Structure formats: structure tokens, C-alpha cells
């Protein structure tokens, strides 16, 4: 193996016998690292905590605290837990070796040792440790970048939901891993009408976040007033077809007329909207024909638009499938039928209360099983 050790790396040698320590020192002088020494267990712990060496060669039988105990303490302290430990001992029985390895040591060398073997093993473990550190650094870097993406993404969502006369709104948005692919937006049209968009990029994390941001930009650059739900989906699809492959984006666009209290809906692959009808104390999925998701190919058919009249007390819910497809530990999904129940929770009076009831129900179902997809909900209640 090529020796890439550097002088910024250090190895701590621990032995209570000065002669052994000297032989070990001379053996490793050529490996290219700084060598630190400790003559007993307490000294080893003090130096390891301070200097954070890249490798520790540890004798077992020492007068103060033995090597096993030193190793145990090193592995317990977060600052030193990651430092690889090699035991060097005259105890050559299998159970001694197993005991050492079980305590978290990476290797075990029996004394008297062959210098070449010690050098080879030291080099191997230094390389492994270095690669492990590199992977960890890259992971930190990547996570940091995704956090930045996530921050940008949050800024793309509406900062504050609009005040709509006679229609109270609330939203919930969470991503499963930093950045996500869900998106919702509300835009004011003329004559007391409002446009609602909810969309979900297939997949999650960075690739989904790119599609989400594109959809946001496209929607806000819509050339006219987005009054016609079918035209809005045609427009988004036309543009997303150029970039989305092999992925796609489900979307639902609805226009709410606050004067007439009607909702006109076009749906591309998104789950069916849910409605709670107050007069019947009943929640149901709105049967609304749709088209396949955005970004696959142009629609050669007319996109169906479903219109529904809402009444005072009615609740209108759109959501992404990260919610209905939230799993529990047994592998069951939450599902649409379960979702209808908290939507109809009688005691909830504000849309925030209803969303809280839904999220509590979902969490109770999933228990500690984490979400593996992004979840977005948008809910309105007619006053």
C-alpha cells in the first residue's frame, strides 16, 4: 500500500515498559507521522484527549489502569471515540484478542512483534481512518449544501397565507430530508378569486428540489392571470416536459371564487381533494377526473375541470401523497380512508386546528417510524 501518511498525523504509543516503548518508537519512526508517547494508562487518556491522535497503539498490562479500561474510556468519550486503537500485548490467547476487539479496538498485535508487520498494520489503519474522515467530511459538506437548498426553498413558499374574505386558510409543510419536492402557492386573481397550486416532484431531496423551484418560477411567470385551471396545467406541463425526464411532477390547481364559494379544480396525478361537508357532518374524496402528472408529455386531451360549490362550515383539503403514504413500522400506509376522519373532527374550528388534528392522527399512526417522503397540506374552511 502506498504510504500517504503526513506529519500532521500523529500516533500515540502507550507502554509502561521503557524498553518496549523505545523499540516501538524506533519501529515507527519511518512511517511519516508525529509519534507521541505515554508510559501509563492515565497518561494515555490525558494525551489522547488533548492531542486527538490518528491512531493509538495500546499495551494491555499496565500498573495503573490497564489497556482494556483505557480503551473503554476512550470509546466512551465522544472526543476520542473515533480514534482507532490497536492493542499490542503479550497476551496472545484468543479470548484476550476477542475481549480487546469487543471493546472497539480495530486490531490486535501479539508481542514480541515483527517490525514489518506493525508498520504494515499501522499504515493500513491510518489509511482507513483517513478515508473514513474524508467520507464524513464529504457527508457534512453535502448536508450543509442541502440545508442551504432547503432554506432557499422555504423562501419560495408563501411567507404568509392571504386573508380571504369568508375562507380561512392554513398550511403545513415538512420535508423528509432537508430539501424536498413539495410546493404550494396561493395567488390573488381579480374579482375576489384565488388560485391554489399544490405540487409534488417525484422523489425527494436535491433532484426534487430543483423541479420544485422550477415549477414555482414557471407558475409565477404565468403570462396571464391564471384563471383557467386547465390552461395553467397545460402551460406548466409544456415547460416541464423539457426538463423533468426521467422524473415528473404531480400538481393540482384550483380557483376559488370567494363570492360564489365555488372551487374549480384541475388535477394532474395529485391525490383527489377531500371535502368535509358540514351540513352532512361527512368527509369524502371529491371524484374529480384528472390527467397524468406534469413533465411526461404534452396533453393531447382536454384537461377535465371539476367544479364544486362549498357551503358555510365546509372544509376543503388538498395534500401531497407523503401524507397518505406515511408508513408505520408494520409497513401499513396511513391511507385516504384514515385521513377523512380527522378532517371531520367536529371540535376543530380553525383550519389550524384541523391540520393539527390531522398531523396528530398521522403521527399516532406512524408512531416513531419516520416520514420517508415530503408532506404538504393546504386547508380552507368556508365561514
Partner 1 sequence: MEITQQEENGIVSIAIKGRLDADSSPEAEKVVKQALEGPTTRVLFNLGALEYLSSAGLRVLLSAAKEMRRREGKIVLCALNEFVKEIFEVSGFQSLIPITDSVESGIEVLSS
Binding positions for partner 1, rule: CB under 8 A:
200, 202-204, 245-248, 250, 267-269, 271-272, 290-293, 296-297, 301, 321, 325, 331, 333, 372-373
Coil, helix or strand at residue 165: coil
Helix axes 67-76, 94-102, angle to 10 degrees: 20
The residue (of 66 and 325) whose beta carbon lies closer to partner 1 is 325
- Closest CB 115 distance from partner 1, rounded Å: 47
Q: How far apart are CA 130 and CA 121, in angstroms?
A: 14
Alpha carbons 358 and 353: distance in angstroms, whole number: 9
Minimum CB distance to partner 1 smaller for 320 or for 345: 320
* Residue (78 or 331) nearer to partner 1, CB: 331
Q: Nearest distance from residue 177's CB to partner 1, in Å?
A: 11
Nearer to partner 1, 195 or 293 (CB): 293
Which bin fits 24, alpha (ψ -120 to 50), beta or left (φ > 0)?
alpha
Closest CB 136 distance from partner 1, rounded Å: 24
Identify the DSSP state of 327.
B
Considering beta carbons, is residue 68 or 235 the nearer one to partner 1?
235
Q: How far is the CB of 219 from partner 1 (least distance, A)?
A: 20
Nearer to partner 1, 151 or 297 (CB): 297
Instruction: Closer to partner 1 by CB, 121 or 267: give it.
Output: 267
Least distance between partner 1 and beta carbon 131 (Å): 25
Q: What is the secondary structure of 258-295 as a DSSP string?
A: TTTTEEEEEEEBPPPPEEEEGGGTEEEE-----BPPBT
Minimum gap (Å) between residue 343 Cβ and partner 1:
17
Asked whether 373 and 325 are in contact (CB, 8 A), the reply is yes
Beta carbon of residue 200, minimum distance to partner 1 (angstroms, whole number) = 8
CB distance 273 to 288 below 8 Å: yes
At 157, phi and psi to the nearest 5? -80, 155
Give the residue among 240, 259, 242 at the shortest CA–CA distance from 250: 240
Nearer to partner 1, 167 or 183 (CB): 183
DSSP secondary structure of 218-250: HHHT-SS----HHHHHHHHHHHHTTT-TT--EE
Smallest separation, CB 382 to partner 1 (Å): 25
Maximum pairwise Cα distance, the chain: 94
Amino acid at each position: 500500500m502506498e504510504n500517504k501518511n503526513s506529519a500532521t498525523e500523529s500516533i500515540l504509543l502507550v507502554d509502561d515498559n521503557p524498553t518496549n516503548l523505545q523499540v516501538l518508537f524506533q519501529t515507527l519512526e519511518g512511517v511519516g507521522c508525529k509519534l507521541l508517547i505515554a508510559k501509563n494508562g492515565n497518561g494515555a487518556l490525558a494525551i489522547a484527549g488533548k492531542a486527538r491522535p490518528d491512531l493509538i497503539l495500546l499495551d494491555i498490562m499496565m500498573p495503573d489502569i490497564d489497556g482494556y479500561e483505557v480503551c473503554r474510556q476512550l470509546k466512551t468519550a465522544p472526543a476520542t471515540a473515533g480514534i482507532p486503537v490497536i492493542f499490542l500485548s503479550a497476551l496472545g490467547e484468543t479470548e484476550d484478542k476477542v475481549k480487546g476487539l469487543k471493546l472497539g479496538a480495530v486490531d490486535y498485535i501479539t508481542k514480541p512483534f515483527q517490525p514489518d508487520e506493525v508498520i504494515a498494520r499501522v499504515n493500513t489503519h491510518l489509511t482507513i481512518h483517513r478515508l473514513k474522515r474524508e467520507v464524513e467530511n464529504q457527508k457534512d459538506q453535502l448536508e450543509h449544501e442541502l440545508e442551504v437548498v432547503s432554506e432557499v426553498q422555504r423562501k419560495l413558499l408563501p411567507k404568509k397565507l392571504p386573508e380571504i374574505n369568508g375562507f380561512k386558510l392554513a398550511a403545513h409543510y415538512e420535508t423528509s430530508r432537508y430539501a424536498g419536492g413539495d410546493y404550494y402557492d396561493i395567488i390573488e386573481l381579480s374579482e375576489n378569486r384565488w388560485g391554489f397550486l399544490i405540487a409534488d416532484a417525484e422523489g425527494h431531496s436535491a433532484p426534487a428540489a430543483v423541479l420544485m423551484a422550477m415549477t414555482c418560477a414557471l407558475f409565477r411567470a404565468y403570462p396571464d392571470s391564471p384563471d383557467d385551471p386547465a390552461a395553467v396545467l397545460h402551460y406548466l406541463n409544456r415547460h416541464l416536459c423539457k426538463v423533468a425526464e426521467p422524473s415528473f411532477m404531480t400538481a393540482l390547481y384550483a380557483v376559488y371564487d370567494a363570492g360564489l364559494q365555488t372551487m374549480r379544480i384541475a388535477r394532474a396525478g395529485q391525490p383527489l381533494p377531500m371535502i368535509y361537508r358540514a351540513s352532512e357532518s361527512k368527509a369524502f374524496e371529491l371524484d374529480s377526473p384528472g390527467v397524468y402528472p406534469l413533465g411526461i408529455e404534452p396533453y393531447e386531451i382536454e384537461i377535465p375541470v371539476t367544479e364544486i360549490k362549498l357551503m358555510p362550515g365546509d372544509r376543503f383539503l388538498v395534500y401531497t401523497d407523503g401524507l397518505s403514504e406515511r408508513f408505520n413500522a408494520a409497513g401499513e400506509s396511513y391511507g385516504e380512508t384514515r385521513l377523512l376522519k380527522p378532517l371531520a373532527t367536529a371540535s376543530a374550528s380553525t383550519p389550524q386546528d384541523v391540520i393539527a388534528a390531522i398531523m396528530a392522527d398521522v403521527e399516532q399512526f406512524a408512531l416513531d417510524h419516520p416520514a420517508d417522503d415530503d408532506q404538504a397540506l393546504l386547508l380552507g374552511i368556508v365561514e
